[in-house]
Amino acid sequence: MTKIIGLTGGIGSGKTTVAKYFEDFGIPVYIADDEARKIMQSSEIIIAVKDIFGDTVFENEKLNRAELAKIVFSDSLKLEKLNNIVHPAVKKHFEHWLLQHKNVPYVIYEAAILFESGSYKNCDLIITVTAPVETRIQRVLERDKTTRELISKRMDAQWTDEKRIPKSDFVIENTSIETTKFEIDRILKILKIKQKDT
């Protein structure tokens, strides 16, 4: 049976970079945030979002993600309502995706809110990616062309590394390419040993 390896970490920690490195080794990777973005374009989700948030988060009938982010990361209740729409749809999509990869020993499930959403319960192993807060902020500023204030709000809405680490099997401190690759190689060796033991 295919094992699910959860991959998580706070915004700007470098989860996607780590996920792509695993992908280079032939391990299928499911990026939950990317799939959520696609799912949020479906008519069913758009109707549900419009029902809660109204037309203010839409521009020419297209969802304005930046506007929606401003609202939900300033209001925990509204964030919860949005998650209640998106998470079940992502879960269903992942289950279908997993069936297409049932002949591989491992898959990576990458999600920023793996613990917060409860998705960690479906994982056999969990990897947390960490990085210093200021490093993370700078990465997101460069990547998303957003504001420091909005990044801080998103960080506040997520678990801290102090909460994630005790619940994780592996921790990758993503401060340099060399150390990150070294840690990933070490994890891959452990996974191969585990695979032989099963």
Whether 174 contacts 182, CB under 8 Å:
no
- Cα–Cα distance, 52 to 61 (Å, whole number): 15
* Residue from 1, 6, 2, 22 nearest 123 by CA: 6
SS3 (DSSP) at 37: helix
Check whether 10 is labelled as a binding-site residue.
no
Q: What are the helix (H) ranges across 100-164?
A: 133-144, 148-156, 161-164
180 marked as part of a ligand binding site: no
Question: How far is the C-alpha of 156 from the C-alpha of 166, rounded, in Å?
Answer: 19
DSSP result, 160-198: -HHHHGGG-SEEEE-SSHHHHHHHHHHHHHHHHHHHHH-
78 is in an annotated binding site: no
- 51-70: b or e for each residue (b if 16 or more CB lie within 10 Å)? eebeeebbeeeebeeeebbb
Determine whether the annotation assigns residue 13 to a binding site.
yes
Backbone angles phi, psi at 171, to 5 degrees: -130, 130
Binding-site positions: 12-17
Binding-site positions for ATP: 12-17
